[in-house]
Amino acid sequence: MWSEPLKILFKDFCALNGIHHALDTLLETGTISCNEVAFSLLPHPSAAQDIRILAHFGQAPANLREQCYRRLLEINLLMPDTSGERLAVDPQNGAVIFLYTLKSPSAIQLLHSLQRAAAQAQEWQQTQFLDGDANSFQAPSLSALMKAS
């Protein structure tokens, strides 16, 4: 499932974070948690060193589901086409997910990316992005991540 560059990345990532025990699970299932937010990591279908990341934001409250889904569509409309970042609904359970790709990340870039996506998930869990303007959503910027580390 994982290319050799991604296996090395995950090993470096786990070492950087002092979670050596998580490496086997990460390689076996592609799942990891960052700041109490669950993530699924997937190999990119066409680039051996790239990773597709799904941040699990959680369930939309039943009484706000239609408003939440509408807001997700509004935010998607404002996201740049080039990054592949998307908010979506998991077809299996209806939970909100944030999907994006990291291109050839280092362990520190992966960490920063997961931290920023976790912050977005925590904000969503508190507000469902229903407060304020759709323009206020700040998706983790891949170009900023590459420059930041």
pTM for this model (two decimals):
0.84
The pLDDT of residue 83 is 62
The pLDDT of residue 80 is 75
- Name residue, tokens 């889904």: 69
CATH of the domain at 15: 3.30.1460.10
And the tokens for 125?
């869990």
- Name residue, tokens 């807001």: 71
Read off the pLDDT of residues 59-97 as tens digits, 9 standing for 90 and up: 998 998 999 999 889 888 888 776 678 999 999 998 999
Range of the domain at 58: 4-148
The count of domains in the chain is 1
